[in-house]
Amino acid sequence: MAETDRRVAFVTGASQGVGQAIAERLGRDGWHVIVAARRREALDAVVAGIAAAGGSAEGVVLDMRDPAAIEAVISAAAERHGRLDGLVNNAGRFSGRRIVDTTLDEFRLNFIMNCEAPFLAMKAAIPAMIKGGGGAIVNISSVSGLRATPGTGGYGASKAGLIHLGAIAAMEVGEHNIRVNTVTPGSTWSPTFRKSVEGKTPEEVEAMQKTGTILGRFAEPSEIGDAVAFLLSDDARFITGVNLPVEGGAYWFRGGNRLIGKRH
């Protein structure tokens, strides 16, 4: 496949975990993947892995807390390739403090990373997509944006905002043949999540999975990547404004447990 024939996707937070899995899946699907993150060494490893699997990729260093850099890097990528067909807003931040223990700066940083940065990335990508005749955007939210969980005030609120922002964007750009959807993962075996359960026994982790989802397990990063790849593909050409939970039924399972508990 000639380089000019490849669709081009820009994936943020792609140096590990879910972002890496998304980039690798898109590489296998024939996209040219621009992987963006803050750590050059990690980016180089992801790019090398995609290339070794027969894909095409490049890495760009990008701090999603820098508004000017977001616009400059995405615009430059679109100009360099003469097209931008896909954008995945995966980079984000998790805060695990209760409201009374959360500083205003910490609260704001959740919104900067989880809502403001995707807004700026979409703002930079949409003109290039319009110029190219269309495209697809996928924002990565969280099940915490769907249900209230103690200790996730800033995180949950910002992820809920991202879901709503995506729906509004879909309404605004549909006339330009641009689709905007959201994928909402639950607990996923990313490096960050694995670190959060390091102090637990295997039995405790197994219990968490059995009591946390209908399917009795947590997601692999590749399973989130599969959902994103579908929404970016032509198979989803008539799907826009959708929030797709990819969480093994965690939302309904936990909600049902709470209701049952109240009855007894």
Residue (of 72, 90, 71, 117) closest to 33 by Cα position: 90
Number of H helices, E strands in the chain: 10, 7
Residue 212 lies in a domain: no
- Quote the distance between the C-alpha of residue 40 and its chain's center: 20
Residue 80 lies in a domain: yes
Residue 174 lies in a domain: yes
Maximum mean pLDDT: which of 91-105, 195-209, 226-240: 226-240
**Separation between Cα atoms, residue 198 and residue 151, nearest integer Å:** 19
Task: Note the pLDDT of residue 263.
Answer: 29
- Catalytic-labelled residue, pool 107, 155, 218, 253: 155
What's the structural domain count of the chain? 1
More confident residue, 34 or 260: 34
Task: Note the pLDDT of residue 254.
Answer: 60
155 catalytic residue (yes or no): yes
245 is in which domain, residue-wise? 3-188+222-249
Mean pLDDT across the chain: 89
Task: Note the pLDDT of residue 249.
Answer: 82
Chain segment 131-166, per-residue pLDDT in tens: 999 999 999 998 877 888 888 788 899 999 999 999
Residue 67 lies in a domain: yes
Residue 163: give its domain's CATH number: 3.40.50.720
The single-letter DSSP state of residue 112 is: I
pLDDT band for 208, please (50, 70, 90 cuts). confident
- Return the bridge partners of 246, or none: 185
Chain segment 161-201, per-residue pLDDT in tens: 999 999 999 999 999 999 999 999 987 767 776 666 777 88
Is the pLDDT confidence value at 262 over 50? Answer: no
